[in-house]
Amino acid sequence: MASCRSEVESVTFKPDQGRYNAGFVAERALNVILVTGGAGFIGANFVLDWLAANGEPVLNLDALTYAGNLENLAALKDDARHVFVRGDITDAALVERLFAEHQPRAVVHFAAESHVDRSILGPQAFLHTNIHGTFVLLEAARKHWLQLQGDARESFRFLHVSTDEVYGSLSSDAPPFAETNPYEPNSPYSASKAASDHLVRAWHHTYGLPVLTTNCSNNYGPFQFPEKLIPLVITRALRGEPLPVYGDGLNVRDWLYVTDHCSAIRRVLQAGRLGETYNVGGWNEKANIEIVRTICGLLDEMRPDAAGPRERLITFVKDRPGHDRRYAIDARKIADELGWRPVETFESGIRRTVRWYLDNAAWVEGVTSGRYQDWMKNNYGDREGQSA
């Protein structure tokens, strides 16, 4: 576990308890941001990106559930700017204490249960973390904000990271989701995120809490847990295992490279209008089957398989319940107001992603534990070999 230092003296957190060891921070850095879920896929990329971009210290609160992994943050092991606490965002006493002791100038809230398939199999955890956890954070942030004075109070921000799935499903000819689209969530996951979005909005309009919300499209890139489509296909294709594709494979998503997402969040935190929502997308609509075939082609190029082209492994399986047909993000608002646009094309981003997984086989092996294999069997075991 990394040690966590202030400007004055060292304090170490116990990773198994989320509590301080002996010691007291007599002084703290003038500026620090609280990041929740900062050991997960997007959160870890954001922490790494944030420290590389501006160096402002990060207080990182993560429960280290199945998708949270400190190996994602190995580069920060001895970095005094990164303070890690293992803890649950639903633990009100812990959250309030962290606000009191570290006085963060901003919150960037990633922590969430986030996989639709898991939400179908076990929705309760999604309601607990995504709804109750967001409530706990909002209340702690509100109490903290109310006791701030002057510029500290004026500059405080609570940035809530959400998803395009709250908007529901689009037909093939419908315009992309704009910030004004009505909410029509279709899965336990998206319903729980929609509820959390509404809480954030309510805390702004009722209490005046200075909030910002971002709704992003599908992310991909380094450190993504291999239950999601792109790393799932990469890891299974390398093992010569069947590549499960739901239904006819024509479900469409807008794909956003994770570091582009991180830069968008930084920009919204810096200059976003209070109470506003900003949609963040990559302008890369792709059908799932196109994604799978692209990955197969890249793997065939970068690491040929003696058994033949990997498209032979594609297996169409029974569709999941309530599978949304199409998501697409209209990201003109963030471009027009804040000047943000993605840097990566899908072609450049997917090539970088495949290369990262090939170069980080030890990381993949570390996260594909027995529990993950059990989940894979539970989710796909009765689908493989079935037609849509």
Contacts of residue 54, defined as CB under 8 A and 6 or more positions apart, other chains included, come to: none
Q: Are strands 82-86 and 58-62 parallel, antiparallel or unpaired?
A: parallel
Residue of 62, 113, 117, 189 marked active site: 189
Q: Are strands 3-5 and 277-280 parallel, antiparallel or unpaired?
A: unpaired
**3-class DSSP state for residue 316?**
strand
E-only strand ranges, 89-152 = 106-109
Phi, psi dihedrals of residue 124, rounded to the nearest 5°: -60, -40
Asked if 165 is an active-site residue, the reply is: yes
Residue of 164, 254, 324, 344 marked active site: 164
Buried b (16+ CB within 10 A) or exposed e, 274-287: eebbbbbbbbbbbb
**177 near 170, Cβ under 8 Å?**
yes
Q: In this structure, what token pair is assigned to residue 156?
A: 């405080």
Asked if 79 is an active-site residue, the reply is: no
**83 near 60, Cβ under 8 Å?**
yes
Residue of 62, 113, 117, 165 marked active site: 165
- CA nearest 300: which of 313, 287, 289? 313
Looking at beta carbons, which pairs linking 124-132 to residues 24 or more positions away fall under 8 Å?
A: 126/188, 126/189, 126/192, 127/188, 127/192, 127/195, 128/90, 129/88, 129/89, 129/90, 129/192, 130/189, 130/192, 130/193, 130/195, 130/196, 131/192, 131/195, 131/196, 131/199, 132/90
Q: Which residues pair with 61 in a beta bridge?
A: 36, 85
Give catalytic residues, as residue numbers: 164-165, 189
